Amino acid sequence: GDSVTQMEGPVTLSEEAFLTINCTYTATGYPSLFWYVQYPGEGLQLLLKATKADDKGSNKGFEATYRKETTSFHLEKGSVQVSDSAVYFCALRGAGNNRKLIWGLGTSLAVNP
Amino acid sequence: DGGITQSPKYLFRKEGQNVTLSCEQNLNHDAMYWYRQDPGQGLRLIYYSQIVNDFQKGDIAEGYSVSREKKESFPLTVTSAQKNPTAFYLCASSIESSGGIYNEQFFGPGTRLTVL
């Protein structure tokens, strides 16, 4: 079945460092891919998405490119801020009629000033 | 403002008691979902509903029950049969179109349930 694997955390960075959180997936067809962010004590918010191969999702300085050839959707940001400290989830939705999202386990990011 | 509300934010229950978590949305979304979140385990789907008066079990439905009598409401009952109910519970909704384009899920703020 479909699955999502993302790098384990926690990830600890200094402010203004470059961030990469790896996400790879297994799915048939062409799934839609998502990154969600969860700030402490809150629900999840959609950060960005891509619905077809080579699409680049971007938001708030974060980017991720849908790579069909490597089945990846890595999250990147050129210069992180303390306010980016959160848990980041990679997710996919299959190409069929199944409405469910398949979730990665989440990667915790801590940014130090 | 449109959104999803969950109440209460914190809930305490004695062992052996049933408890119902509220989830309401005014986004006019067709589909609604309940997830459970435990440290280090990501999100696990409990139940979901694609349309009023219909719902399906997710991956960890045992010990939980739901109803979907209205489009905007999807309450979750944690029964005494749930062996380890202490967790953070998240409700979500999504609009469904035939093309599947509008398929991201929108989340409520969550309810933290603690069994004493």
Is A69 near chain B, with CB under 8 Å? Answer: no
For the cut 80, the answer to whether the pLDDT of residue A99 exceeds it is: no
> How far apart (Å, rounded) are the C-alpha atoms in residues A68 and A54?
7
Classify the C-alpha dihedral B23-B28-B34-B37 as positive or negative.
negative
Q: What is the pLDDT of residues A12-52, one digit of tens each?
A: 999 999 999 999 999 988 889 999 999 988 899 999 999 99
Is A99 near chain B, with CB under 8 Å? Answer: yes
Q: What is the pLDDT of residues B43-101, one digit of tens each?
A: 999 999 988 999 999 999 999 999 999 999 999 999 988 889 999 999 999 987 555 44
Q: Which residues of B touch A (CB under 8 A)?
A: 4, 6, 31, 40-43, 45, 48, 50, 58, 90, 92, 94, 96, 100-101, 103-110
The per-residue pLDDT for A87 is: 96
Whether residues A103 and B104 touch (CB distance < 8 A) is answered with: no
The more confidently predicted of residues A58 and B40 is A58
Is A51 near chain B, with CB under 8 Å? Answer: yes
